[in-house]
Amino acid sequence: MLYLVGLGLSDETDITVKGLEVVKRASRVYLEAYTSILLVNQEVLESYYGRSIMIADREMVESNSDEILRDADKEDVAFCVVGDPFGATTHTDLVLRARELKIPVSTVPNASIMSGIGACGLQLYNFGQTVSMVFFTDTWKPASFYDRIKENRSIGLHTLVLVDIKVKEQSLENMARGRLIYEPPRYMTVGQCASQMLEIEEEKQEGVYTKDSLAIGAARVGGKTEKFVSGTLEELCNQDEALGPPLHSLVLLGKRTHELEHDFAREFAVDKEKWDRIWKADYAQS
């Protein structure tokens, strides 16, 4: 059996009892380590699980999945994913490959950012499409997220923006020369995300959101040092110090924010009076 095991959002103790039983009995245990990270390192996981763990980077998962699936028709293999295996990041390709090889597959779900973000005070059923924000470069500034946010806001829904992480990435030069030299890990912050959003709005000028649009910055959701800061997009450009270390996410409020949502998120506000004023003018449900 191939088991896809969700590890939850924070540390070694977030794994479910069912997931831990799978990990302990599996012949091999892999940790998918390029779409997200836990707030503890590999050694802590190995100590708690009582098992050695093999890191599965992007290259292995996307190009060498046969190694992960080796003998999984005869023994149990655990493929561990931060959050939920089919939450913010899906591993459909791996499951389809297993099916082709007649390998049975079972999923052990867990909390992901898609559910954990409810701790910011916004009701999960008021969220629309989730979008991703990547690091911009001088020549590459993808803006597909903009139209998805526009669709969400047209019907009053909130938007969860997942921000980029770069783990075991090569520079273009090293990639072109075939050199296996990797860049240091980089984790996008709420401030960088908000700044890039405003940069695209400045270019498009469609008014999907503005510097005064209300948003919530989230950091280390589900962890012991979980932190939220709410305010305008302009204010959140300068709140990285308050939010602290990775991982970050951002939520852009929809236009039909309920009063209870407002009251909850207000406690995190940079400027509570400004938060109240903008909400009453632009967000309060009629």
Q: Sign of the C-alpha dihedral, residues 107, 26, 94, 187?
A: positive
d(CA 171, CA 34): 16
CA-to-CA dists, residue 276 to 104, 144, 153, 198, 262, angstroms: 53, 31, 20, 22, 8
Q: Is 131 annotated as a binding residue?
A: no
Closest by Cα among 113, 120, 201, 125 to 163: 113
Q: Is 262 annotated as a binding residue?
A: no
Q: Is 113 annotated as a binding residue?
A: yes
d(CA 172, CA 181): 11
Q: Is 82 annotated as a binding residue?
A: no
E strand intervals along the chain: 2-6, 28-32, 54-56, 77-81, 105-108, 131-133, 159-163, 165-166, 186-187, 214-219, 227-232, 248-252
Phi, psi (degrees; rounded to nearest 5) at 284: -60, 135
Q: Is 221 annotated as a binding residue?
A: yes
Q: Is 9 annotated as a binding residue?
A: yes
Which positions make up the binding site?
A: 9, 84, 87, 112-113, 163, 221, 248
**What residue numbers does the annotated binding site for S-adenosyl-L-methionine cover?**
9, 84, 87, 112-113, 163, 221, 248
